[in-house]
Structure formats: C-alpha cells, structure tokens
Amino acid sequence: MSHESPRSPQYRQIDALPRRLRALTDLVPGTMREGVGMHDYDGVVADLSPGGVEAGMRRLDTEAVRAYGDPHDEAHATAFEDGLRLSNLQLEEYRSNPLLHVSEMDLSGYDREYAPREQRERAKREHLRHWPRLVENALTSLDRVPAPVARSLMGAVEGVGADVPADLPPQEKETALAAHARLVAHVREAAENGPAEATLGADRLARLMGVPEAADVDLAALARRADEERDRLLDGLGEAAARLEPGRDAMDLTRELTARHPSADRVLDAAREWTRLARDFTAERGLVPDDTGDCRVEESPESQRWATAMMAGGGPWEGDTPSYYYITPPQPTWSPQESAEWLEMFSHTTLPAVSVHEVAPGHFSHWRSMHALESPVRAALHSMTFAEGWAHYAEEMLLEEGFGAYAAERVAGAGFLDGHDWTPTHYEIGVYVEALIRVTRLSVAIAMHTGGANVAEGAARFEADTPLRGPAALSEARRATFDPTYGRYTWGKLEILEVRERARRAWGEGFSLARFHRALLALGSPPIGLLGNALERG
C-alpha cells in the first residue's frame, strides 16, 4: 500500500494512531478517508488482491495483541477486527462483491471542500494513477461474482468512470479509462455468465450481521420482530390516512400522496427547505450535542447513484468542513413514467423524513457529535448498523416530539409544495412510509439469503408492503444481493429504542432525551451489542 499522499497539518496524523488501530485503518483507507476524514489517506488505496488482503490481515493479527486501556474501546475495536476477519478470511467478500473494488476507485470524495482545491486535485490524480493496479487486483480477485450481484451493480461499476476529470493529460485519461473498461467488461461477463445463486445462507448472514456488531443474531427471532414492526407501522399508517381521508384504503391514499413530488429540477430546492426546518427544530429542542456546521444539498455523484439519498463528509478527523446531503435524480435514459416513479421517493410526504434521516438529527448531527470524541477508536470505527439505526430512529423520534406541527406552520403556502396542502399528518405518513421501506429491507434480506426468494419476489414484497413501484421497488430488491445487511436500519432502530426504555427505567426522573442522546453519542457509532454501555456511562 502506497502512503505517498498529500498531507496537511490541519489534520490529525495517522502516524499518531495506536499501532493496533493503524493496522486496521490501513486495511480500509477509503472508509477512513470518506467516512472519518483521515485525509492522510488521500491518494491511498487498499490492495484487494488475495496476497494483499492476506498480508494486511497478518499485520492486523500481529498488532491485535496490544490492549486498549478502556474496556469499551477494547470491545469496540475487537468487534471491527473480528468483522474484517469474517469478511476477508472466512467469507472472502472481496472475491464476490464488485462494490468493494468500485469503492476503492471512487473519486467523488475529493470534490468536497475539505482542503484547498489544488491539494484535492493532486490527491485525485494520485488516486487515479492507482486505477490500473486496482483493476488488475479486481480481475484477479473477482472470481465468484454471482450474476444477480453483477447485474445489480452494473450501474455503480459503470458510473465510477464518470468521475475521471475531463481535463486530465490525454495519456493519463486514456490509461484510467482503459482500466475502467476492463472492470466493466469483467462485471458484465459475470452478469451474463456468473453463478445464478447469490444466497448466503442463514449461518453466513447471521455472522455477517452479528460479528461486527458484537452481537449474536437469531434470524428467525429477528424476522418475527420485523413482521411485528411492519404490522405496527401499517396500523399507524392506516390511522393517519383515516384522519386525512376517512374510508380510503391507506396504501392507495399513500400512493396518491407519494405521487405528489417536486419536479426533477426542483427536488434539490425542496430538500434544502426541509433540511433547514429539521435543523432549526433539532437546535431549538436541544436534541443533539452539536447542531452547528455547514451541510449542503447537492446531486449525487455518478459513482454513488446506487443509493437514492446519502450523507457524505464531515468526519471527526476533518475539522469544520462542509458535509453534503446527496440526492440521486432520475436517470436521463428513463421514460417519463419511470422518472415519476423514482421521484416518488422524494415526494412532499416522504422528503421531510428523508431529510431528517440524512441531516438533523440524523447522520449529519451524529457526525458532528463525533468531532468531540477523545477516543481514537470511537472516532475512527463506525458501526453502520448504529449509524443507520440512529438516523432511522431520528425520523420517528421527531414525530413524537412534534416536528410535523412545527413544520406545518412554517411551510403553509410555500412555493416548493406546488400548491399541495401539507399537514402534520403528512409528516407522520412519510415517517411510516420510510419505516415500511426499511423494515421490508430487513424482511427481504432474510428471505433472499435464507429462504430462497429472488430479486423479482423481493421487488413484489416492496410493492405489496410499501408504496414503491417499478424501478424504485426493483432497485430496493436488487440492493439485497450486494448489501445483504441492509436490514440494519430497522435492526439498529429497534435496539436503540430498547436501550432507551432501559434508560427510562434506570434513570427515572433523571431521564431526558437530551441526556440519553448525549450518553449514546458519547460512544461514537458503537457496535449494536455494546449500546448498554451508554447506561453505565450516562
């Protein structure tokens, strides 16, 4: 692995990390750069060849004998190390999942304004010079790619090439694009001729979910919890819909509401307005430790368009730099009907909850809180089950706290609503819709990887249990093939709610949401199995 990357004294240096932690962060430089803000890893890529993975894991095992002083940090780091051992050595995901290799090629993070442009452009060009080697590693490693996974990821594989700068010297550009073309051809071949079966099986899925989270996962019990949560959400949706239009079928009304959305050229403006309102409400209620910082709403880079919306940037090593709330627009090649169905995910009913999830008090607020962490383990190692669970928890928590009424007073007659009414019930319905999509992810992932369901059956489940239709439902089902733990949103939310009830009982009159959130976020983004430590330290 090369470490000839641009450095700036404004960042904490990776050389100061504990050796055990450094052995881990060196294995995932892209994650550290993009999600944590360790820009010493600018222009640095991981070696995902079989030999490179083996060498990195040997170094990790050598350093892992060193203990951290804090019991939580020890358990936190151990969970991440065990997760990498599972992924790299036992499941060998780098041999079956092209997204791991595409992520190493991703250049979009250099467009964020975390450093002077010249510095970022140098880092991008250095990164781009690694593309031929990255692709060679990918072609060597990716010998087990199931056809459903390859088909689901073709857009992301092709899209990463769109970030190659147009003004590169011709030879550099030609070399990079030629390497990219080889990867596209390899994944396309897998899409046509790869193994038809993408199922992990119950044991592998349970370990993939549980090991990095320091938790034992009973998939049968989790599937029952998912069904119970779906039923609760459907009941809530029915009650809310009845308040708007008594007698109407709840899902029919919801589909009518989600069909009311901004046009493709106005969706970013609408998201900016909902972001402002969510941040104002979060700050006024004191719901998170840090409500400051610059969050910008922009169109997703091509390489990130496998996701409908996402938050990027502002990690704890980065300082006070902008973060970006990305929204993926319809593809230019889609028909008007397909584009309209895609935009339903950003409807006037659902976009408020999406913005709460991505920004405040969701991902952006969570990342801002991590700037205050003193522990390098907690600042560097982020559980995505907690991160997504927290952001998902935030949607319904704001419903409980009255965000719907707060927003309704402030958007009456707003131009971005295109003349449509908006009431507190619209926010409530949006929360239930987003939660139904997330809980269906959990159910579909379990069904596809343990029960033999295919992508078409997964899409049908999304169309039955959520308002999603057409390409939106199909996109959600396809994601289960390459992101089998994407049920983490609901699982994380349920675990946070459970520990919140434990805190209410333990703290009695001393309980408040602000105190609970401070205690939880003081752990950073902890493995789900360690959430109980928030009660002991809160």
What is the average pLDDT across 422-441? Answer: 97
Domain membership flag for residue 518? no
Q: What does the DSSP 8-state code read for residue 330?
A: P
User: For residue 204, is it within any domain?
Assistant: no
Is 112 a domain residue?
yes
CA nearest to 98, candidates 217, 207, 6, 185: 185
Give yes or no for residue 10 having a pLDDT over 60. Answer: no
As a whole-number percent, the residues of the chain with pLDDT over 90 amount to 81
Q: Predicted confidence band at 39 (pLDDT cuts at 50, 70, 90)?
A: very high
147 shares a domain with 261: no
Q: Which domain holds residue 393?
A: 212-494
Q: Which of 171, 198, 225 is the last residue of a domain?
A: 198
pLDDT band at 218 (very low <50, low <70, confident <90, very high): very high
Same domain? For 450 and 321 the reply is yes
- For 8, the 3-state DSSP assignment is coil
Q: To the nearest whole number, what is the mean pLDDT of the chain?
A: 93
Distance from C-alpha of 58 to C-alpha of 257, rounded to nearest angstrom: 54
298-312, 330-344, 351-365: range with lowest mean pLDDT = 298-312
Same domain? 358 vs 445: yes
Q: What is the pLDDT of residue 306?
A: 58
Please enumerate in sequence order all residues whose Cβ is within 8 A of that of 384, keeping only pairs 6 or more positions apart, or say none: 485, 488, 525
The number of distinct structural domains making up the chain is 2
- pLDDT higher than threshold 90 for residue 51: yes
Q: Give the residue-averaged pLDDT of 519-529.
A: 97
Residue 377 has pLDDT above 50, yes or no: yes
Same domain, 104 and 131: yes
Task: Answer yes or no: is 520 within a domain.
Answer: no
Q: What pLDDT does 314 receive? A: 75
Tell me if the bond preceding 361 is cis, omega within 30° of 0: yes
Neighbours of 126 (CB within 10 A): 17
Residues 462-478, mean pLDDT to the nearest whole number:
90
pTM for the model: 0.93
67 pLDDT higher than 80: yes
Whole-number Å distance between alpha carbons of 443 and 457: 12
What mean pLDDT is predicted for residues 371-393?
A: 96
Locate tokens 């239930």: which residue? Answer: 432
Residues 152, 82: Cα–Cα separation, whole Å: 28
Mean pLDDT confidence for 137-151: 97
Together in a domain, 220 and 352: yes
Q: Provide the 10 A C-beta neighbour count for residue 66.
A: 12
C-alpha distance from residue 260 to each of 168, 255, 263 (Å): 42, 9, 9
Q: Per-residue pLDDT averaged across 305-313, rounded?
A: 77
Residue 273 lies in a domain: yes
Q: What is the mean pLDDT of residues 40-50?
A: 97
| One domain for residues 169 and 242 | no
Report if residue 162 sits inside a domain: yes
Q: Do 371 and 503 contact (CB within 8 A), yes or no?
A: no
User: For position 328, what pLDDT does the model report?
Assistant: 87
What burial class does residue 69 get, using C-beta atoms within 10 Å of its C-beta: 0-12 exposed, 13-18 middle, 19+ buried? exposed
Q: Are residues 183 and 268 in the same domain?
A: no
Residue 6 lies in a domain: no
| Same domain as 183, residue 311 | no
Q: Domain check: are 146 and 252 in the same one?
A: no
Domain boundary pick from 494, 512, 532 = 494
Residue 65, domain member (yes or no): yes
With a cut of 80, say whether residue 30 has pLDDT above it: yes
Residues 152 and 301 placed together within one structural domain of the fold: no
Do residues 439 and 396 make contact, with C-beta atoms less than 8 angstroms apart? no
3-state secondary structure string across 402-439: CHHHHHHHHHCCCHHHCCCCCCHHHHHHHHHHHHHHHH
Q: What is the pLDDT of residue 7?
A: 33
| Span 399-412, average pLDDT | 96
Percent with pLDDT over 70 in the chain? 97
**pLDDT attached to residue 301:** 75
Task: Please indicate, yes or no, whether residues 161 and 226 belong to a single structural domain of this protein.
Answer: no
Whether 185 and 224 share a structural domain? no
Torsion angle of C-alpha atoms 310, 105, 205, 453, degrees rounded to 10 = 80
Judged by average pLDDT, the poorest of 140-144, 239-243, 451-455 is 451-455
Specify the residue for token string 């994650």: 31
Task: Tell me which of 145, 174, 198 is where a domain ends.
Answer: 198
Over the stretch 230-245, which tens digit does the pLDDT of each residue have?
Answer: 999 999 999 999 999 9
What digits encode the pLDDT tens for the residues 79-115?
Answer: 999 999 999 999 999 999 999 999 999 998 898 889 9
Q: Coil, helix or strand for 142? A: coil
512 backbone dihedrals φ, ψ, rounded to 5°: -150, 155
Per-residue pLDDT, 422: 96
- How confident is the model over 249-283, as pLDDT tens digits? 999 999 999 999 988 888 999 999 999 999 999 99
Report the distance separating Cα 238 and Cα 247, nearest Å: 10
Q: What is the band of 6 on the pLDDT scale with cuts at 50, 70, 90?
A: very low
pLDDT-derived band of residue 333, with 50, 70 and 90 as boundaries? confident
